[in-house]
Amino acid sequence: GDPEAMSPGKLLWDIDGRADPNLGYTAGQAAIGRLRDGNFYAIFGNGLRSANACPVLYLVRLSDGRVRRLATGGRALADTCAGAPNGLGRPSLHDVQGAGEPGRRTADFVYAGDLQGTLWRFDLRGVDLDSEPPTGAGVERVFTATNAAGQAQPIAGTIEIGAAPTALAPAGTGPRPVMLWFGTGRPLAADDRSDATPQSVYGIVDRFAGTAARRDLQRQSISVGAGMSGTIGGGRVDYAGSATGRPQSGWVLDLPRAGERLSGPLLVRRGRLVFASLVPDGDKCFAGASSIFAVDPHRSRLEGLPLRRRLRRLGPRRRAAVRADPAGPGQFARAGFVARGLPMKRGASAQAGFTLIELMIVVVIAAILAAIAIPSYRDAVVRSKRASARQVLLEAAQFLERNFTAAGCYDFADTASCLARSGPAAVRPSTMLRAPSEGRQSYVITWVYGATGQDYTLTATPCGAAGAGCPAGAETAFVDPDCGALTLTQTGLRGAGGSVAACWQR
């Protein structure tokens, strides 16, 4: 149908988080797949800030909107996770039956990560969807992502699924092992932009038996030097355990810069795992730093391209990345960086790698994020905080009007007090002296009265403005460049540092 001519009668179904305590703020598109009952489903994680704050997978039948939910960690759907607020990210679907059963093509497994760093596998091969919650589904923990300091790393993006090394055999009669690639870090909440927690990129083999940990992985590293120099290194992944007797479960690549995280999906193209990273900038006028990486999917030992420094070096006939050792060990070729754990230098021309078009796919993703998505996200954060300031100003005005009805005045500028005259109930609530009223403070609310107690001016000033006077712990870097401070008087007159109509409506 025409999206410009939508009507309530054309809406197939809608799920409202106000009536479902497990549904939070979801991010990204739902995965669409057919399950073994023959129906197609929208499959998505519950996102962040749900009322119950636990990770939950949603299976919504497209034809009629019937909802089925799967909890994780052995919890019931009614359980809460207030002690460690969590939510499930974007899922990826895996079909293990398609090759052996032509025409089936069903979503047998669903992989999704949560905001506390756990990667979950949902086995839907024997699920009974006639009940809520469904029965017969297997929900197992595959991996928990933590950095070297033991801090949980949120998994908010999709999981790229691909073939495991051919030497790996299935566990018993189970499915053939698969590789799972994903990155950590999130750009979802207001404080995420300033989060400097170290993040990583992972390549994990799922043998469909047991749970892997960071100690089971081969650690790879990136050491960024001055100018065009740097070091990328690490050992070979011992999937079979031939060296130590303990098989490794994949690799982990720790991103080198504080706050660096993935900025889009991971893609496997022509034998390379390609992804882009982002380091957000504290200034909304700048997109921050970004890098493009192309690594061996099973070993992670190849090149990374700093975006701002490398794009201008790629000519129309040059390749976008290089194979290992294209110009000798430790040398830098015109079209990329070389791994091998040695300093990168200028060197000879690159050998054939993957094409410039494939690199540009990743570049476009990074460019869209830098030019549109990130500024839009920052603007949405500012508008959300501005809305909380407007709400507190209106609540404070209502409070003063009630006080005027009880005492005949708002309050005096001198020692006489209408608030005291109208009784203890009229003491100014502390929640009306700041915005938002809960969480980290972004605005300070000031109350100024006239000498006769017959007028007032309420002002919401961003904590980052000069002279705001916000307390310790407030968001002292926050400013609203479009609207500045908001004001409201006893006559209902509204003011702002920008367009009053725009600042009080959005």
- How is 414-436 classified by DSSP, letter by letter? SS--HHHHT-GGGSPPGGGSEES
352 has a pLDDT exceeding 50: no
pLDDT of residue 310: 37
335 has a pLDDT exceeding 70: no
Domain ranges of the chain: 12-144, 386-503
Q: Which residue has the higher pLDDT, 324 or 196?
A: 196
227 has a pLDDT exceeding 50: no
Task: Sort strands 272-279 and 303-306 into parallel, antiparallel or unpaired.
Answer: unpaired
Q: How far apart are CA 164 and CA 252, in angstroms?
A: 16
Strand partners, 200: 254
Neighbouring CB atoms inside 10 A of 312's CB total 7
pLDDT of residue 304: 46
Q: How far apart are CA 396 and CA 158, in angstroms?
A: 44
Would you give the end-to-end CA distance of the chain in angstroms?
Answer: 30
What stretches of 95-245 show up as alpha helix (H) in DSSP?
A: none
pLDDT of residue 494: 92
Q: Residue with structure tokens 């900038």?
A: 281
Taking residues 466-475, report their average pLDDT. 89
| Percent of the chain surpassing pLDDT 90 | 31
Q: Residue with structure tokens 């200028």?
A: 346
Judge contact between 339 and 326, C-beta under 8 A: no
Answer yes or no: pTM beyond 0.75.
no
**294-331, pLDDT tens digit by residue?**
788 887 655 444 444 333 333 333 333 323 333 333 33
pLDDT of residue 159: 92
Q: Which of 52, 208, 88 is nearest to 138 (CA)?
A: 208
Judge contact between 107 and 33, C-beta under 8 A: yes
Judge contact between 319 and 359, C-beta under 8 A: no
Asked whether the CA dihedral 48, 54, 55, 58 is positive or negative, the reply is: negative
Rg, C-alpha atoms of the chain = 27
**149-169, pLDDT tens digit by residue?**
999 999 988 899 988 887 677
Q: Considering the chain, what is the average pLDDT of its residues?
A: 78
DSSP code, position 159: P
pLDDT of residue 220: 84
232 has a pLDDT exceeding 60: no
36 has a pLDDT exceeding 70: yes
| Percent of the chain surpassing pLDDT 70 | 75
Detail the DSSP E strand segments found in 147-288: 160-163, 178-183, 200-206, 218-224, 230-234, 250-254, 261-262, 267-269, 272-279
For residue 216, give every residue at least 6 positions away whose Cβ sits within 8 Å of its Cβ, in sequence order, or none: 246, 248, 249, 250
pLDDT of residue 424: 54
Taking residues 51-56, report their average pLDDT. 92
Taking residues 14-27, report their average pLDDT. 88
Tokens found for residue 350? 């690159």
Instruction: Categorize the per-residue pLDDT at 333 as very low, low, confident or very high, splitting at 50, 70 and 90.
Output: very low
212 has a pLDDT exceeding 50: yes
What type of residue is 354? F
372 has a pLDDT exceeding 70: no
For residue 431, give every residue at least 6 positions away whose Cβ sits within 8 Å of its Cβ, in sequence order, or none: 392, 437, 438
